[in-house]
Amino acid sequence: MFEDVLAFAALPLTAAVVFTGIHTWFGLQVLRRNVVFADLALAQVSALGATVAVVAGHAVQSAAGYAYTLIFTAVGALLLTASRGLARSVRQEAFIGVLYVFATAATVLVIDRSPQGAEHVKKMLVGGILSVTGDELLKFVVLYSIIGAVHWVIRRPLLAASADADGRSDIGKFLVWDLIFYLSFGVVVTSSVATAGVLLVFCFLIVPALIGNLFSSHVGAALAIGWVAGATASAAGIFGSFLLDAPTGAVTVVAFAAALVIAGAIRAFITASATERSRNRRVGLQTGGLILSLLVGLSGAWVVIAPAGDHPILAAIEMATGIGPDRFMTAKERADYLEAGMVERRHKAEIDLLYDRERQSRWQGNELTADEIRRIGSMQQTLTEMGRGERFVVDYLRTRGRERERWYIGLPLAAAGLIGAAAIIRMARRAR
């Protein structure tokens, strides 16, 4: 099992680090150009190309499939290059948004001709970094090395073009560099989106670059910081998905978001100047305290107003302290409450037992007759209904408990939270 875990983690982690390597560089330029959503637009245009290829009867990985994708990406790159001219009258980002929604809608329309369309669209969004193969990884390394080397050689004009993103200069001045940037960007994004999906590629592109920019305005230093942060977040995401037993792509996106929050905290509370640190600490404590106080206060008020509603914060407090609604029940109610919970669990176990019996009979011993199957189904339904009955009793008695609890727990919580919030606001005003 441990070997499997390592085997399943090694390639995705290497792929994530490789993706971080090239995307951080592009991300830094994307941030300088203020075209944060250009990658989504380009990825969607290339996805449109891949979709047209699929509907035309070519596999996405075939030569024809790549040709379709590259041609569409090139058209997307041309449109984005031309959009710089728009930046004088409207924001370029607005044009990029229109390109994105158009490409998405066109993909849906094209995919409508293909029976397996929904799956294709979902795959482009979520990707499948977990199943990346060694051969695919090698292709990425070769492709990104070539693009990286070319960009290294022409880094000065590229950075100059991205620094003049607001369109002050004549469009012709940076036309070639813009076109090279968007074309290579399109090739990178097209290849990475097919493996990692749109959501994760957006993270690889933007989060490490943002973290790098938080700590340095020098491109080289920002790149190095972004690489370290991106690799760390990738490792946390992939190993986190093993620990949490959750889908890798989604956990990695959350890990990148967490990395950004942590980097922001380090920037505000550790690496800032002494005066800034002290101000940030004060503002941070006040904001955190205010949010916590409001949450507690409103949760307490909600218990008072609607004791029968959902109370996630109160439930967390109950779990932490062991003081639950059963403390506020009469002896008879408490006995019924505990018994109903126990009977409900017993019904669940009986349903599972019946399920296992039917499942075993599919291939072991004598086959169950249709009537025996119906009888099992009927018993499962009955037990489900009885279980619901017990759940109703549990919910009803919990509400009764909470109706009393609201005066002893809800009201003090509401008062403490709201007084705390008022005190924090007053302190903040005085400090000003």
Minimal distance, residue 397 CB to another protein, in Å: 17
Q: Which is nearer to another protein, 179 or 343 (CB)?
A: 343
Answer left, alpha or beta for residue 197, where phi above 0 means left and psi between -120 and 50 means alpha: left
Report yes or no: 303 and 402 within 8 Å, Cβ to Cβ.
Answer: yes
Task: Give the pair of three-digit tokens for residue 164.
Answer: 């003049």
Binding window for another protein (CB under 8 A); candidates: 73-81, 297-305, 352-360, 410-418: 352-360
Helical (H) or strand (E) element with 221: helix 219-244
Smallest gap, in angstroms, from Cβ of residue 256 to another protein? 17
Is residue 312 near another protein by the rule CB under 8 A?
no
Does 139 participate in binding another protein (rule CB under 8 A)?
no
DSSP conformational letter for 309: S
Q: How far is the CB of 387 from another protein (least distance, A)?
A: 4
Binding mask 212-251 for another protein (x = CB under 8 A): --------------------------x--xxxxxxxxx--
Q: Can you tell me the distance from the alpha carbon of 416 to that of 422, in angstroms, rounded to the nearest whole number?
A: 10
| Binding span for another protein by CB under 8 A among 48-56, 152-160, 353-361, 407-415 | 353-361
Question: With the C-alpha atoms ordered 364, 369, 371, 374, is the resulting torsion angle positive or negative?
Answer: positive
Mark residues 369-388: x for contact with another protein by CB under 8 A, - for none: -xx-xx-xx--xx--x--xx
CB neighbours (10 Å) of residue 12? Answer: 24
Site for another protein in 62-121 (CB under 8 A): 112, 115-119
Over the range 146-169, which residues count as b (16 or more CB within 10 Å of their CB) and which as e?
ebeeebeeeeeebbebbebbebee
Considering only residues 246 to 275 of the shown chain, the ones binding another protein according to CB under 8 A are 246-249
- Total residues at interface with another protein (CB under 8 A): 56
Q: Does 355 bind another protein (CB under 8 A)?
A: yes
We find the least distance from the C-beta atom of residue 368 to another protein, in angstroms, to be 8
- Does position 341 bind another protein by CB under 8 A? no
Q: Which of 326, 333, 358, 403 binds another protein (CB under 8 A)?
A: 358
| Residues near another protein, by CB under 8 A | 1, 4-5, 7-9, 12, 112, 115-119, 122-123, 126, 128, 130-131, 133, 238, 241-249, 344, 347-348, 351-352, 354-355, 358-359, 361-364, 367, 370-371, 373-374, 376-377, 380-381, 384, 387-388, 391
